[in-house]
C-alpha cells in the first residue's frame, strides 16, 4: 500500500484533527495514511453521566470520514471504547462503525492489538473479511516481551487475513524520552529484528512521540525537541541497503493519552505550537476566559515575523497564521489552533520525510 516514503500520524478523531486533515493539499494527502483513534464517549461532569450513547458517538463516522478524507485509506482504532461495547440491536461497535464507512465508500482499515478482547478481535476479523482492505496490527513495546511473539501474532491475525501481504504493522512506542538517542536507536533496531516475517508485511511503521504530557513547567517562548523525529533520522543510516525501512509515525502536536477535563474548572491558556525541523516552537499566552482569543493575533504576528516561519503558502495552517497576524481572519477558538498547528505539522513532516529519503515533494 505504501513504503517508507510515507507518513502515518496517529490522531484523535476530533474536530481540530479532522479539520487539519481535510485542509491539507492533495499532494500532501497522497503521502499520508492516518491512524485515527476514536476518542472515548464524553463524560458530563455536571450530571455524572456519559454525554451520549455509543451509537450516537460513532453513528456519523462514515459520513464525516467521507467529507474529510474521501476514499483515501486510513487505519481506525476503537481501543478507547469500553470493552466489548454493544450498539443497538446487539451489534458490536466495530461492526457498526465500519458499516458507516462502508456505506460511504471509505477505505477504513481496522486496527487490532494484543489488548483487544476476543469479541473485539472477532468483530475486526469480520470487518476485514467483508471489506477486503486488510487489517492493521498495533504492537507496543511490552508486546515484544512475549516469548512466542511470532506464533502469537499469527494466531491473532489469522482470522482476519490470508497472509502477511494483507497486514499492516504499526510499532507504537507511545511517549518516550528517546534519551540517550544512540541507545534508543539500538532499541528500535532490536524491536524491528524481533518482528516476525519483517519483509512480508504490507507496510511497517514505527511511531511514537516525545511531546510532553504537560507544558505547565515549560518556559515561553521555547523550543521543545522532537526526539522521535531525530531518532528516526538517526535510525535510517543503520538499516543498510537491504534491511526493511519503516515508515515514520508520530502523534503530531499532542501527547498520546486522552484527557477528559471538567471544563467548569479548567482555565485554558492561549498557546501556539509550531513544528520546525527538529523542534516544536512553543509560546504560551494568558488565560483565554479572562483575556480572550484576541491575544492570538499578537502571537501569530510574532510567529509570522520569525525566521523559521515557513510562509503563508506552505500550508493552510500557515496561511491562517499569516492572515490572523494581519487581522484578515478571526482569532477563532481552541479547536481552531489545534487544526492550524496540526495541519502545519502534517505538511512539515511530509516535506521533511521527502528530504530525509532524498525525494522532492509538492506542498
- CA–CA distance, 237 with 192 (Å, rounded to integer): 15
Percentage of residues of the chain with pLDDT beyond 70: 92
- CA–CA distance, 4 with 7 (Å, rounded to integer): 8
Q: Is the pLDDT of residue 41 over 90?
A: no
Q: What was the pLDDT predicted at 83? A: 67
Which residues are CB-neighbours of 62 under 8 A, at least 6 positions away?
Answer: 97, 99, 100, 101, 102, 103, 104, 106
- Given a contact cutoff of 8 angstroms between Cβ atoms, the answer to whether 275 and 253 are in contact is yes
Predicted confidence band of residue 54 (pLDDT cuts 50, 70, 90): confident
Which residues are CB-neighbours of 240 under 8 A, at least 6 positions away?
Answer: none
pLDDT digits (tens, 9 = 90+) for 2-26: 999 999 999 999 999 999 999 999 9
- CA–CA distance, 318 with 28 (Å, rounded to integer): 14
User: What's 7's DSSP letter?
Assistant: E
Residue 282 vs residues 237, 273, 303: alpha-carbon distances, Å: 30, 5, 10
Amino acid at each position: 500500500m505504501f513504503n517508507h516514503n510515507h507518513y502515518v500520524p496517529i490522531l484523535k478523531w476530533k474536530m481540530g484533527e479532522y479539520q487539519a486533515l481535510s485542509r491539507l493539499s492533495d499532494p500532501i494527502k497522497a503521502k499520508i495514511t492516518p491512524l485515527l483513534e476514536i476518542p472515548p464517549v464524553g463524560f458530563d461532569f455536571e450530571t455524572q453521566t456519559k454525554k451520549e450513547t455509543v451509537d450516537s458517538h460513532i453513528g456519523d463516522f462514515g459520513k464525516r470520514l467521507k467529507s474529510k478524507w474521501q476514499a483515501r485509506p486510513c487505519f481506525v482504532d476503537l481501543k478507547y471504547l469500553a470493552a466489548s461495547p454493544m450498539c443497538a440491536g446487539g451489534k458490536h461497535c466495530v461492526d457498526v462503525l465500519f458499516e458507516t464507512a462502508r456505506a460511504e465508500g471509505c477505505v477504513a482499515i481496522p486496527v487490532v492489538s494484543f489488548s483487544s478482547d476476543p469479541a473485539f478481535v472477532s468483530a475486526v476479523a469480520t470487518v476485514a473479511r467483508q471489506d477486503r482492505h486488510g487489517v492493521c496490527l498495533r504492537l507496543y513495546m511490552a508486546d515484544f516481551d512475549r516469548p512466542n511473539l511470532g506464533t502469537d501474532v499469527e494466531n491473532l491475525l489469522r482470522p482476519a487475513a490470508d497472509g502477511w501481504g494483507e497486514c499492516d504493522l504499526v510499532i507504537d512506542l507511545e511517549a518516550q524520552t528517546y534519551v540517550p538517542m544512540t541507545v534508543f536507536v539500538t532499541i528500535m533496531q532490536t524491536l524491528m529484528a524481533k518482528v516476525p516475517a519483517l519483509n512480508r508485511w504490507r507496510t511497517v511503521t514505527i511511531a511514537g512521540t516525545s511531546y510532553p504530557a504537560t507544558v505547565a513547567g515549560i518556559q515561553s517562548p521555547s523550543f521543545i525537541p522532537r526526539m522521535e523525529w531525530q531518532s528516526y533520522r538517526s535510525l535510517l543510516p543503520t538499516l543498510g541497503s537491504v534491511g526493511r525501512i519503516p515508515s515514520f509515525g508520530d502523534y503530531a502536536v499532542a501527547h498520546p493519552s486522552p484527557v477528559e477535563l471538567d471544563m467548569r474548572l479548567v482555565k485554558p491558556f492561549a498557546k501556539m505550537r509550531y513544528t520546525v525541523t527538529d523542534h516544536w516552537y512553543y509560546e504560551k499566552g494568558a488565560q483565554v476566559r479572562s483575556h480572550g482569543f484576541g491575544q492570538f493575533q499578537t502571537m501569530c504576528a510574532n510567529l509570522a515575523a520569525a525566521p523559521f516561519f515557513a510562509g503563508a503558502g506552505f500550508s493552510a495552517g500557515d496561511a491562517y497564521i499569516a492572515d490572523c497576524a494581519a487581522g484578515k481572519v478571526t482569532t477563532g477558538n481552541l479547536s481552531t489552533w489545534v487544526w492550524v498547528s496540526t495541519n502545519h505539522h502534517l505538511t512539515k513532516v511530509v516535506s521533511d520525510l521527502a528530504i530525509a529519503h532524498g525525494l522532492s515533494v509538492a506542498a
